[in-house]
Structure 1
Amino acid sequence: MGCAASIGRPEEITIGVITQKRKARSPLSSKFPSNLQGKQGEKADSVNREYQEKIEFLLTVPLFQRLPQDEHPVVASVCEICRFKRMDPIIRQGARGEEFFVIKSGQADVYAAKTEGKQEKIASLKAGDHFGEGALLRDEPRTATIVAMSEVQALKIKRSDFQSLGLHKKLKFGRRAAVSSNKQSFDKAKEPTPKTDVDKQLIAQAMRTNENLWVIGNLEDKIPAMTAVMWKEYVKAGKRLITEGDMEADFFYVVQEGKFEITVREEKLQGLGILKGPQNYLVVGQSRKGQSFGEVALLYCSPRAATVRALTNSVVWVLDRAHFKDILLKASEAKIQEYRGYLDNVPLLSALLKEERNELARALVEMHFSEGEKIITQHETGNTFYILFAGSVDVYKDEMQVTSLEASVSRKTAQYFGEYALIENEKRTATIQVRSPTARCLVLDRDSFQKLLGPLKEIIESHKAIGKDRWAQERTSGPEAALAADREKIFKQDLSYVGLLGVGGFSKVELWQHMVSGTSYALKVMDRGHIQKHGMEDTVKSEKKAMLMTRSPWVVRLVECYTSVNTLEILMEACLGGELLATYSRKGLWGSLEHTRYYVAGAVMALEHMHERRMVYRDLKPENIVLNSGGHMKLTDLGLAKLVIGKTYTTCGTPEYFAPEVIALSGQTLAVDWWTLGVFIYELMCSSTPFIASHPMQIYAKVMRGIDKNHFPGSCQGAPEHLVKALLRPHPGERLPMKNGVKSVKEHDFFESLDWNAMRADAVAPPYIPEVADERDVSNFFADPKDVASPLAFREDDTGWDDFPTVD
């Protein structure tokens, strides 16, 4: 049953009648009708829904997306929902700021006082936009007034909470175009000039005859759109349109009337056998009616290679780089996803979010190269990154071939090079020359990257800093270190099946091994038809959500999610030491204070982590503790976990572990987990639960009578008994951690010999080391393949319960 997930068999339940099996105590989940909950239950549901909506909203806000998902519940818990009516001022320019805002719905306008104190509108804000961080980061007055232009709902974070959570260090500000200015990528463009059919034909023919432009595939169908946005300019004789070396290379020109001279500086031609001229430049060409120049500016952000000067009064049609790329990049969604797949395999870009890689995919330019053509040249300064997706190239260093690269669309193989040019100007370390008849590349230059996302170096550094801060508080050795945020993705096709670990009513857990790294993972496979039949949709959604929002060495780590036609799958770290219940039974560990102390301490660490995220676990028991190959314990099976602000009235858990408030339907808080911890301690020390009975109603009666009526056997007397009684108080607020915090549990005599700092750092040696031969050893599990249920047909719906995209 155990491994990386416990998978109990779902059971039909009615009030007061529950089928119970001690060998496999299945978790129960039943939300009683609202008439039993009353208004309190409805109010609690509303509060909890609002809290979950906050978290789900934060996940959609680009500002928070680089923040690890396990921190979103903590941020959401300090967010206050504010509502503003139309024309209400949200903040005023010059006022001292104490709050930071994120718009959840509605629209607001930004006004700043300009000359003579007049207010000028400088931007509009919509859902997902944020403002007010300047006052929190630099303690400066508000720099603008923001007014609600419709009913606005916003999340507000106070300065004290903002800083206590370290958001000033973790969030990356400064790329919010909405509040910076009205300047756009297209601000250098002018209004299009009306064109006759003759004008359009001239422009189209000029583009078709420009050989450099045809390095880009599929240009023909883009010509009408490019022609439409071009404008006409009149150029006087002697005026330079392009200056050699100029970095402001933003325009492409088609000559309608006149003549232009193209020159290059002489020093550029030294060593080519060209004699010096009296004017220190050399004429290399002319451009007349129907010809074009400046096309390199459209393809790359690079210095101008020549000077272009009007010899006569002339007329040109002008196309700006931003419009050119915007038109060129309107690829189909399928193409964008194909490009995105290529970007996913570039390690340097692993710090980017899914949405950021999508943006880059849309910005990639497809280019074609011919046999013998050099794509990049050694020692030249580069600012362009290439993905070769069709064809082959040779790689030369110091004029010696060192390797070849080959890519194929049909085999879905791609090669990339020049990626460090996205960070800074670097000399190319090799020459890349086309070997096949043609080669097709996707190209991205640093300027385009930075306009979209900002400097890549800053993104990588902030990404590493967040990871470093998080992992400094947790274990940094063992499997968890490999699952840090900058890990490489695990694809299903790279895994091979090893064996069966556990079987449940609607799922099974299998062991799979990565064919390259050799690392093993547990794969929980859930049948969609069985999930629907047993009404477990919410449980499945909750489990995935809870695993995404926990990141602790004491909780089993989610690695990826997969979707197939009939199943939903969760890939997790493998814990090959087996389930704690089976271990205790096989090894006779019941009543061992040393073992109990270690496993209870681990449970405390796991619950503390979840409670910091306002998440109640609700199903602590030996079946839901698993051991890895080193004996380290981990909490698993988060199917009943729930984000809670205040109370929840859902009746769920294991009957022997039910707290009084679960039975009485009076509403559960985080305190319910501390009750289950008390039962957990008692069971490990006494080999049975304190309220065990043959019928559920008898269990409930014993629970309501209380723990003080119980006899504690000798193995559980003293400190264990005192801690159990301090946790199993009938009133939730009287339980030890609820009165004085988790610290009061850690300081209890039960843990007198335990070093909690060492425990946090995983420096406490586990009291039991399971026998695990290798990454493929399933000997600590006893699943029977005959118990695997046959798949059931399921009904497609639009509720989103089976939305299991791959984890980013």
Structure 2
Amino acid sequence: MGNGSMKPKHLRRLDRHVANLSIGCAGNHNFLKDSGLGISMISGQADVLCSRLLELEKDLKRKDQELQEGQSRVAELQEQLAVQTKVIAELTKELQNKCIQLNKLQDVVSTQGEHSLQPSPLKEASRIQDTANRRRRAKEGVSAEPTTWLYDLNRQATFSFEKARVQKDSSEKKLITDALNKNQFLKRLEPHQIRDMVECMYERTFQQESYVIRQGEPGNQIFVLKEGSLEVFQQNKLLSSIPEWTAFGELAILYNCTRTASVKAITNAKTWALDREVFQNIMRVTAQTRQEQYRSFLRSDDVRSANVIADEHNVECLVIDRETFNQTVGTYEELQTYLEGYVANLAQADEKRHAKRRSFCGQLTKEVSLEMIELKEKVAQFPPSPFQNLEVVTTLGVGGFGRVELVKVKNENMAFAMKCIKKKHVVDTKQEAHIYSEKKILEQICSPFIVKLYRTFKDSKYVYMLLEACLGGELWSLLRDRGSFDEATTKFCVGCVTEAFDYLHHIGIIYRDLKPENLILDAEGYIKLVDFGFAKKIGSGEKTWTFCGTPEYVAPEVILSKGHDFSVDFWSLGILVYELLAGSPPFSGADQMMTYNLILKGIEKLDFPKIIRRRPEDLIRRLCRQNPTERLGNLRNGINDIRKHRWLSGFNWDDLKVRKLTSPLKRELSGPTDYSYFDSYPPEEGTPPDELSGWDKDF
């Protein structure tokens, strides 16, 4: 019908009938002219009938033509609608980018206006409020309980899937399964993981007017509404209602989080619930079981676990039996021995490369080490109470943990950064292991690309880390004010981070929280990693399971609780390159779950902005492969593949390592207490309570 050359079958049949009748009408005189039959009356009626049929035929053709014209018009309108929809999408995206640029421009104008006048108390208060507004866009890290807390050897033995199971009938299981599979995040889990979740969910009942979830409170469970009426409120404003057999609250099973909305029972309600600890055990056991299955398969004769059927004729397969494989390639034990030797050879080659690097950078490392030793000896003489010898100059940063203060030695022109961590907050969020890990890792690190730790202190309210003061400012605030960086500046940033990662990975440390907010500039404009709260030491070939990082920067395997290793740092490096060039990270949703769902869709589905050219785009895509084993930096040549990428060709790595490369981010400082490149913060409100459980006895 679309091109007018074909008609529907029923119209073709009708046309044939009409044509036959038309022929009959045209020859009706031969057919009916028989005076002996006396049917002249019938002949007249036939003429009328034939005339009517001819009219109907014309009407039918006219209607058919109108129908074709209508369909053509619909096709044209659909095409126009598609074009207009695409234009609207492009305009919407452009509008969003303009809004982002406008906000950043307002920030710059505001900042320049602030610096142009002498501050008065009123203007200082206004400036602090402006700073607070601008910093709302800063990204914050999130973390579940460390696996050392959740999954130590004693606790692992206590988790039993059989004990966690709750009896349900098959129809109930199907309804819960369907509810979980409708969820955008949960539907990406493997079927047996969903099945185990369903088995372990238990019933919870809520009375009318009670809260299932309360905004502002910590969350620990995911729910599926079985029956009753629930409504969602935010700041006492009704947002929506929750249909029966719908899953909600899923963010809480990933990590410690504060509920962002309330869910209230409008009638008596029944739900199925699952705790975070059970969910994380299910995910961990799944990954560990799969690894063990792979090992067992290689060790022994295995019974086929599935059928493989040829669905076409003449399918050809290349076949090798186990005996021939063992004779040709080797047994599992022989392969394991070979791989151990191969890894040892790689380690030796790596050691030679690092030895060459150490000899090249020997003088710099020696100077750094001597400086650290001298300063550590000096601060070691301070009394246990840090503020007997130190005085606070200003606040350099704030966070949920506490504050970072710029402090100076009394009567001396020597400054440090003091990280003050609220002990009560650490205990409430179960982050004791992370804080100890940060202390232990920083104490063993000596790199020009990582902030130095000189000493720790404690009292009844805080634990303190006395750190190197880097007063060139935060990379994040500089990026915020500029909007984005050019390629030369981005290459310098990537170079510094790559050197830091090379050092950390070589001594078995995974960082896990790369972002502009955790990169700080020293007096020479060189970038240093700060905040090692999520860093962890792992062995070669090992994985860790804690969900931690910053939502926009976490790798897919972290979200899916598959276990992760050093490759997550390379993923985050790709995200950093994107954000430095474009001004914002590639994956950012209206809420954290939306961000995670975007990450799980993959970088392959993402259209890059024109500001990112082909070579940096290639680097980003290769760093952000969904499969960790395929990521640049995690391949045979290790981190050297990043250094040798064509976008970084010509970059002077040797001069960077010895800090002879001029930084495009260097800023002038008037002295060791010049904090002019940092935002202003209000004084701390109130005093945190004492925390005397003793978890910090080794600080």
The TM-score, its normalising length taken from structure 1, stands at: 0.43
Higher strand share: 1
Which one has the largest radius of gyration?
A: 2
Higher RCO (CA-CA < 8 Å; seq separation 6+): 1
Higher helix share: 2
